Amino acid sequence: MSAAPEPAANARLPRVIVTRPEPDATRWVKSLRERGWSVEALPLLRIDEPQAPQDREQLTHWRRAWTSQDALMFVSAAAVQHFFADAVAPGPGHARFWAPGPGTARALSQALWPLGIGDDRIDMPPADAAQFDSEHLWPVVRSQLAPDSRVLVVRGATDEPNEGRLAGNGREWLVEQCRAAGAEINACVAYQRTVVALDMAERERVQSFSGDGNVWLLSSSESLRALRGVWPEGARATALATHPRIAQAARELGFARVIQARAVLADVVRALESLACPP
């Protein structure tokens, strides 16, 4: 694997605002700073344990019963980490493990190794996929399904108003494809996503990060809810979105410029390099 590009010499580098929840935010800040970028963390989402009693009960059930499934779809690395945070039934079972992108696949690799399950049981979009999401995962996994196949979707819950049990644009689309193929779909909430309520100091940071020369790294359209009523009119900051749906939400909020890159470090660094300008 080739090394990520270093910031161009003698370039005026943008400041990067990492909005991912912890602990992802700290990891991204560290990786970008090691490559010479000025980076600040301002998480806009918080990841917690499931709040609803029925979600906790279902999580306990599926940790015991996962081997009854033909495939487990994990929507994010957080879903993997929280599902395997407590003891699960011993493997190896026969299930395939679906990941929408490399971060989730890496988390699965680490979680499955103690169960004696290798990376050959993990499916994800190809490395050269235009996006890492459910739509690009589907061509990889559709041949695995037959009538009466059983698929468990391991996901997060959110406080988003009117969210359905399997809400999420790409995720819901994938579920519908599975159902059309005759699969039985079950769902399991492994964690709770909560939009951060920004305090006064954080609101002041938003203001200071809204000008030209600031690039907000956005990995969730939901997280932008934290900026509603806070984002200043006429802001000049750039949004670096990791999916077209996130890019659209950033435009609607009022970012002056929106660019896209896949949610992998090398691609994000290349996008930042494209924004670096001579002094």
- pLDDT tens readout for residues 134-179: 999 999 999 999 999 999 999 998 766 544 444 445 578 999 999 9
Query: Could you tell me the CA-to-CA distances from 173 to 136, 252, 266 in Å, in that order?
Result: 11, 23, 28
* Amino acid at site 30: K
pTM of the shown model: 0.86
Q: Residue 109 and residue 125: Cα distance in Å, rounded? A: 15
Nearest to residue 151, comparing CAs of 66, 225, 57? 66
Q: Residue 236 and residue 214: Cα distance in Å, rounded? A: 8
Q: How many helices (H) and strands (E) does the chain have?
A: 9, 11
Q: Residue 145 and residue 20: Cα distance in Å, rounded? A: 33
CA 230, chain centre distance (Å): 24
Nearest to residue 271, comparing CAs of 25, 37, 23, 22? 37
* Residue labelled with tokens 């033909």: 70
**Please, what are the domains in the chain?**
15-44+197-275 (3.40.50.10090), 48-194 (3.40.50.10090)
Question: DSSP letters along 58-98, please?
Answer: HHHHHHHHGGG-SEEEE-SHHHHHHHTTS-------S-EEE
Min mean pLDDT across 7-16, 17-26, 80-89, 268-277 is at 7-16
